[in-house]
Structure 1
């Protein structure tokens, strides 16, 4: 099987998972059929993700691996060395997608320098695609001006039924930039939502499946994580769940701008 040419709609996240926990989670996910894995330099688990991949026996050609450049490594002369270190830990000669993890407004390094280094990494085949994460409209505009929208494979942002980020989503789509949703289940906060519970009951599904299906029906990629094999298996079924227009409208009405991830020194001014 060849490496996917576009970003897979469904993958497994590894945020906050460490040591044997992340090894078990990724190995279980791969055994269940997941083929996209999302990690980051700051997660401190790239080596364990690499170990899980090696032990899984799944051919590298079937996988789509994403990592993210941490703010300490965004200087033009640090991007490629740090990415090479990530590759060493992951046990691969290239990743499929490399993102700038946060815009970090107080970071003195110009965005154009970081993107230029990422374009060089792409030219060197250290990464197949590049993109951004946690970018607002201003930063995404600057990224597009620097390297063109065609070179921004995705903007990975916090996005859930409670935080629908419509302004940045609409702008990204108007520019042809794909969206990846992280924290789609809002740390589990949405799982007991009465609206999602009612929709789930009608579809004989779980609320997690409903939230993930909602995001995918809007065209977003999703990367839910879990330490439990049963949840990893259940989440996969979101790919075949089709919500009605009424379901989608009901979920759209849940928007409450409930942002859970907003670190002072890293986050931009949100739209």
Structure 2
């Protein structure tokens, strides 16, 4: 009799597009039953420490980063989140507001807003402007997702990574720093930079990885394309369980 290995992927459900992430993961698992037959996957909403404690992986969705922070603090959930993202046996992915929430330094943060400090990056909120400035663009992610040359990325009031932090970087005036004392020792890898956005000669970092933590400025859960979620399952969740 064969046994399957239990795997729990949690999606933080305090605010934002958590249902979309859950639907995407469930679609992948239903569409590829033989590929994942040795695992017993559960995709769950996470609002409490007890739910988080069951998880092997956590996804922090897009939404409003300050609201996610305030709700987590008001419900005495922040410390549990600090502990989870600091556990390098787990995997974590933040999209848009989730990327902001995972950062160590935050530009344009709201008063008393907290971040989890799992990524050694400085992030700027709403870097592309207001809701009206949201856009979609096909991008080539084949350098890290094989064959993915045309992924439809959705940017909605999206943040950008403005700096990869080093030990020498000092906190600038007006920039918020995460209260979490965790230091992620893995190198920060820039997975994708948006070049010549809006006709301007610049590069905006919109996807990074640092060890067990992934961050994206855009919303793969709104793309009607499941390749990014499958890559996360395969490369972050399953490989960490091997």
| TM-score, with length taken from structure 2 | 0.35
TM-score, normalising length from structure 1?
A: 0.32
**Which has more helix, going by share of residues?**
1
Structure with greater strand percent: 2
Of structures 1 and 2, the larger Rg is shown by 1
